[in-house]
């Protein structure tokens, strides 16, 4: 784990000392792993599918009944602090980014806080994620990444609070298309500020077309607009939100139907000439779902590494109002050449709540 | 209506619904209680088509499977009566209406734990009903709670210690942000917040009104180490 302060240029340091109480932004990089990926074989890629890390005790035993478990720890970048930015990555042992160019794929990873309940999948018996919350004591999904590795950056003054007692975990699916086994690690860089720095607390909201299960949905060939509704049980402002779809995905949008407000459309980006661009005439763009998949601009990993697969999802800082009782709707637009049973449509937003007394007793 | 009358009325109404919520107790009932989540798919799905794994194009396709050949009939071996396997136990009745994979996972959980979980979920549902009723009856909004108190409480995470029927013994301080007003007042993680002023925090239905009436100088009382400790918090 490496930590460095990036609050200001060195030349400004003297000036900053004069500003009492000025917040310091810190940057910490953590590695989680190792994860051993089997070699690809005649039946397909080597995979570690829906493995869970960071669980312990009885919860680990229960989860192990239907998922594989990993025994490496998942340390946090900081405690009693506010995370203000997350840059996810998957790397090989030597630190090289693991991507399609070297035969690996970060199919997905979900970051979970086992000490807080997920507000859209309350611990209970309805689905796997609910049950996970009962078994482990908490199931708050606060971040996720696909191979496009979208960077989260909260608007200034907002953050996700990390308690000293929080236990973190991961749920992930990784693939190896190369003929030799590979060892990989998650490598995340967090930007954060300490408690007491006046950051406004936000609540992560997981929105998913397969909401409380394994996030994998059946999607037919051709154009689909798959929706999922959430009746808001709290009021607040959505300050930050981004999405994740698979190849052939056009976009994923979150709308407040009660207020007629398009909160965010997160659009998929593909390299020019990509064979995975949504197919068919008319990709479904309409007034409420503006879509344009040519969003690839600059990518630190290099577009070539994606080999035409989805490489970007746009993100929004909408500051949109949601009132308790509003009907909100997720729209996932896909135009596939074939059907599948494991497409995804996920958004994670961060809500600045008006006020909740507990996790669920909200105004 | 006086505050005590309101409290009694809310208790009566809440209890009725709380009991109703508990009437069907058991995992079966709990498993199908909606949480306000609705999924609707847009277009009608096409007939199932064999999927193509995302990364399959990168690896060699699997060899074609040989055509199935009828297996020869297995020789009949009489199993001695003493070695006969017992019939599998039917699933517990309360698991029958759950989604099959959830029920299957829960079958591996000892009945005591299952019952504890079911009780906890039932309590949470009953408490949620009570809270929402109290909110509606009181017409209190977030803005009715003193902004300084609200900001101070946002730096504290509270988890209710629930009883059957959705009542509670208090709100456990799960975490408290270092340097925040309530931490400065001497409250700490692990304390059980039991009173604000003279109002006991034993009913979720009363919380909106209690908070709205608390003002910027509340006296917060917690249980700690078997005793009660009160702190006057000046948020002005």
Instruction: Tell me the C-alpha distance between B190 and B17, whole Å.
Output: 31
* Paired sense of beta strands A200-201 and A158-162, if any: parallel
List, as own/partner pairs, every contact residues A69-72 make where C-beta atoms lie below 8 angstroms and the sequence separation is at least 24, other chains included: A70/A35, A70/A170, A72/A32, A72/A33, A72/A34
Q: Which residue of B has its CA nearest to A196?
A: B179
Pick from B31, B42, B171: CB nearest A224: B42
Question: What SS3 class is residue A127?
Answer: coil
Q: How many helices (H) and strands (E) does chain A have?
A: 3, 25
Mean pLDDT by 10 residues, chain A (363 residues): 43 35 77 98 93 83 78 96 96 94 95 96 90 90 94 96 94 96 97 94 96 89 92 97 94 94 91 83 57 58 84 92 97 92 95 97 96
Give Cα A32 to chain centroid, integer Å. 16
Contact (CB, 8 A) for A176 and A45: yes
DSSP per-residue codes, A230-251: EE-SS-EEEEEEEEEE-TTEEE
The pair of structure tokens assigned to A65 is 């009944």
pLDDT of the residue at A171 = 92
CB contact under 8 Å between A220 and B179, yes or no, is: no
Q: Where are the alpha helices (DSSP H) in B107-233?
A: 111-138, 147-153, 181-184, 207-214
The pair of structure tokens assigned to B185 is 């007042």
pLDDT of the residue at B108 = 82
Contact (CB, 8 A) for A93 and A34: yes
Contact (CB, 8 A) for B224 and B230: no
Tell me what the mean pLDDT of segment B109-115 comes to: 88
Q: Which residues of A touch B129 (CB under 8 A)?
A: none
pLDDT of the residue at A213 = 84
* Backbone angles phi and psi of A61, in degrees to 5: -60, -45
Give Cα B184 to chain centroid, integer Å. 31
| Torsion sign (Cα): A231, A237, A242, A248 | positive
The pair of structure tokens assigned to A184 is 């990989």
pLDDT of the residue at B83 = 52
| pLDDT per position as a tens digit, B87-96 | 556 556 566 6
Work out the mean pLDDT of chain B and round it to a whole number.
71
Residues 23-52 of B with CB under 8 A from A: 27, 30-33, 35-43, 45-46, 48-49, 51-52
Residue A272's Cβ-count burial label (10 Å; 0-12, 13-18, 19+) is exposed
Instruction: Tell me the C-alpha distance between B158 and B96, whole Å.
Output: 35
DSSP letter at A80 equals S
Q: Which residue of A has its CA nearest to B61?
A: A42
Q: Is the pLDDT of residue B31 over 50?
A: no
pLDDT of the residue at A297 = 52
pLDDT of the residue at B109 = 85
ipTM greater than 0.95, yes or no? no
Contact (CB, 8 A) for A218 and A106: no
Rg (CA), chain B: 28
Instruction: Name beta bridge partners: A28.
Output: A3, A190
Question: What SS3 class is residue A254?
Answer: strand
CA angle, residues A180, A184, A185, in degrees to nearest 5: 180
| Torsion sign (Cα): A89, A203, B174, A26 | positive
Contact (CB, 8 A) for A175 and A37: yes
| pLDDT per position as a tens digit, B131-156 | 999 999 999 999 999 999 999 999 99
Q: How many helices (H) and strands (E) does chain B have?
A: 7, 7
Task: Provide the phi-psi class of A95: left if phi over 0, else alpha when psi is between -120 and 50, else beta.
Answer: left
Q: Is the pLDDT of residue B34 over 70?
A: no
3-state secondary structure B57-107: HHCCCCCCCCCCCCCCCCCCCCCCHHHCCCCCCCCCHHHCCCCHHHHHHHC
In the block, which residue shows the tokens 């009382």? B221
The CA-atom distances, in angstroms, between B207 and each of A17, A77, A203, B130, B176 are 43, 35, 21, 10, 20
Q: Which of B99, B48, B30, B64 has its CA nearest to residue A339? A: B48
Residue B73's Cβ-count burial label (10 Å; 0-12, 13-18, 19+) is exposed
Question: Is B117 at the interface with chain A, CB within 8 A?
Answer: yes
pLDDT of the residue at A6 = 44
pLDDT of the residue at A362 = 97
Give the dihedral of Cα atoms A304, A305, A306, A307; nearest 10 deg: 60
Q: Which residue of A has its CA nearest to B135?
A: A363
Å from B87 to nearest chain A CA? 22
DSSP letter at A356 equals B
Question: Is A177 at the interface with chain B, CB within 8 A?
Answer: yes
Least confident among A55-64, A190-199, B14-23, B109-118: B14-23
* Residue of B195 and B6 predicted with greater confidence: B195
Which residues are within 8 A (CB) of B88 and not within 5 positions of it... i.e. 6 or more apart?
Answer: none
Å from A205 to nearest chain B CA? 13
Instruction: Tell me the C-alpha distance between A55 and A73, whole Å.
Output: 9
pLDDT of the residue at A175 = 97
Q: How confident is the model at residue B105 (pLDDT cuts 50, 70, 90)?
A: confident
Contact (CB, 8 A) for A209 and A330: yes
Give the up-direction half-sphere exposure of residue A151: CA atoms within 13 A in the CB hemisphere.
Answer: 12
CB contact under 8 Å between B160 and A358, yes or no, is: yes
Interface test with A, best of B31, B33, B39 (most A CBs within 10 A): B39
| pLDDT per position as a tens digit, B36-76 | 223 333 333 333 333 333 333 333 333 333 344 344 444 34
pLDDT of the residue at B36 = 28
Question: What SS3 class is residue B12?
Answer: helix
């Amino acid at each position: 784990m490496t930590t460095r302060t990036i609050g200001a240029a060195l030349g400004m340091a003297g000036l900053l000392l004069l500003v009492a109480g000025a917040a310091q932004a810190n940057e910490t990089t953590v590695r989680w792993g190792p994860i051993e990926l089997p070699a690809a074989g005649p039946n397909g890629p080597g995979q570690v599918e829906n493995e869970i890390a960071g669980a312990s005790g009885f919860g680990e035993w229960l989860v192990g009944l239907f998922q594989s478990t990993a025994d490496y720890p998942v340390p946090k970048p900081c405690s009693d602090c506010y995370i203000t930015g997350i840059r996810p990555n998957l790397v090989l042992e030597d630190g090289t980014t693991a991507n399609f160019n070297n035969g690996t794929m970060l199919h997905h990873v979900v970051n979970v806080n086992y000490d807080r309940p997920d507000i859209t999948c309350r611990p209970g018996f309805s689905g796997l994620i609910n049950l996970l919350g009962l078994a482990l004591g908490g199931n708050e999904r606060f971040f996720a990444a696909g191979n496009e590795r979208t960077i989260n950056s909260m608007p200034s003054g907002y953050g996700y609070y990390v308690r000293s007692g929080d236990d973190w975990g991961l749920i992930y699916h990784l693939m190896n298309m190369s003929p030799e086994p590979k060892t990989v690690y998650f490598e995340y860089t967090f930007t954060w500020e300490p408690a007491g720095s006046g950051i406004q607390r936000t609540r992560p909201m997981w929105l998913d077309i397969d909401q409380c299960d394994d996030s994998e949905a059946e999607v037919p060939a051709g154009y689909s607009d798959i929706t999922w509704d959430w009746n808001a049980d709290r009021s607040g402002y959505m300050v930050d939100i981004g999405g994740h779809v698979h190849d052939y995905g056009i976009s994923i949008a979150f709308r407040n139907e009660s207020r007629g407000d398009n909160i965010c459309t997160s659009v998929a980006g593909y390299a020019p000439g990509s064979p995975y661009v949504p197919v068919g005439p008319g990709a479904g763009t309409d007034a409420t779902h503006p879509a344009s998949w040519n969003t690839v601009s600059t990518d630190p990993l290099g577009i070539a590494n994606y080999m035409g697969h989805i490489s970007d999802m746009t993100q929004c800082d909408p500051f949109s109002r949601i009132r308790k009782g509003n009907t909100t709707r997720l729209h996932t637009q896909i135009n596939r050449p074939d059907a599948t049973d494991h497409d995804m449509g996920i958004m994670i937003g961060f809500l600045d709540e008006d006020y909740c007394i507990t996790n669920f007793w909200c105004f | 209506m006086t505050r005590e009358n309101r409290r009694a009325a809310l208790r009566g109404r809440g209890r009725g619904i709380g009991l109703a919520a508990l009437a069907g107790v058991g995992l079966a009932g709990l498993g199908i209680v909606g949480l306000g989540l609705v999924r609707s798919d847009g277009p009608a799905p096409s007939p199932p088509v064999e999927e193509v794994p995302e990364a399959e194009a990168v690896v060699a396709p699997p060899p074609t499977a040989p055509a199935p050949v009828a297996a020869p009939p297995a020789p009949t071996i009489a199993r001695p009566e003493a070695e006969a396997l017992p019939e599998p136990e039917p699933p517990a009745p309360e698991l029958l209406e759950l989604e099959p994979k959830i029920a299957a996972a829960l079958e591996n959980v000892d009945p005591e734990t299952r019952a504890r979980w079911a009780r906890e979920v039932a309590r949470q549902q009953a408490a949620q009903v009570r809270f929402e009723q109290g909110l509606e009856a009181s017409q209190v909004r977030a803005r009715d709670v003193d902004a300084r108190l609200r900001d101070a409480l946002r730096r504290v995470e509270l988890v209710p210690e629930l009883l059957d029927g959705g009542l509670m013994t208090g709100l456990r301080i799960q975490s408290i942000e270092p340097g925040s007003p309530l931490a400065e007042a001497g409250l700490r993680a692990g304390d059980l917040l039991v009173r604000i002023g003279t109002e006991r925090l034993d009913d979720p239905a009363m919380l909106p009104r209690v908070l709205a009436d608390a003002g910027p100088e509340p006296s917060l009382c917690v249980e700690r180490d078997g005793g009660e400790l009160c702190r006057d918090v000046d948020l002005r």
